[in-house]
Structure 1
């Protein structure tokens, strides 16, 4: 399995730093969008969500709106973020 950080860096390479990004990188799609519920971090910044999508799903994404519909609204994605958001401290990282 390829290093996830390398996958991320390759997908977002050349994508820029805009708040909303839908950037095709070979067979992958790099997505970035602000939190749909306008949740903010401790400094008051809207939380960005970033995804690297591959496979058949990546082929269906042509815009940030597609990414929200096909990735963020995918069963479990927004729900998992919601669950973590309400914790008193972040869960341990997996690795």
Structure 2
């Protein structure tokens, strides 16, 4: 399965932590998240891709005391298994939770991972 994942940390701003294999994931991200800028929770499917947004499940906050959001562009067979934000949270969050726990408190964001997350069941 492939993901684009954008979020922020405690002290660093909105960044892509997974780029889905794109050299520039922003156009794909922008296309899927168009017209949902102010929404805290989103599940939106467009053809074979899905836009998923939810607040941090552990309610971690940035230094401005805002709950950190997690935005994903989901590709492939996983899109078929998601019908709601709750489904997306249940299926996607376990794939990235440990990674986020390692980076959320770093003073600078890590570089995007180009992993396609192969090996996870879809």
TM over 0.5: yes
Structure 1, unaligned runs of 5 or more: none
Alignment pair present for 1:4 and 2:22:
no
Aligned partners of 1:94 and 1:21: how far apart in 2? 22
Q: Name the Cα RMSD after superposition.
A: 1.8
Partner of 1:81: 100
After TM superposition, the runs of 4+ consecutive aligned structure 1 residues lying more than 6 A away are none
Structure 2, unaligned runs of 5 or more: 1-20, 114-122
1:43-54 correspondence to structure 2 within 5 Å: 43-54=64-75
Partner of 1:19: 40
Q: Which has the higher contact order (CA 8 A, sep 6+)?
A: 2
Structure number with the higher strand fraction is 2
**SS state of the match for residue 24, structure 1?**
strand
TM-score w.r.t. the length of structure 1 is: 0.85
TM-score w.r.t. the length of structure 2 is: 0.68
- Paired residues, what number? 92
**SS state of the match for residue 66, structure 1?**
helix
Deviations 1:14-54 (A, max 9, x none): 33521000011221110000000000000000000000001
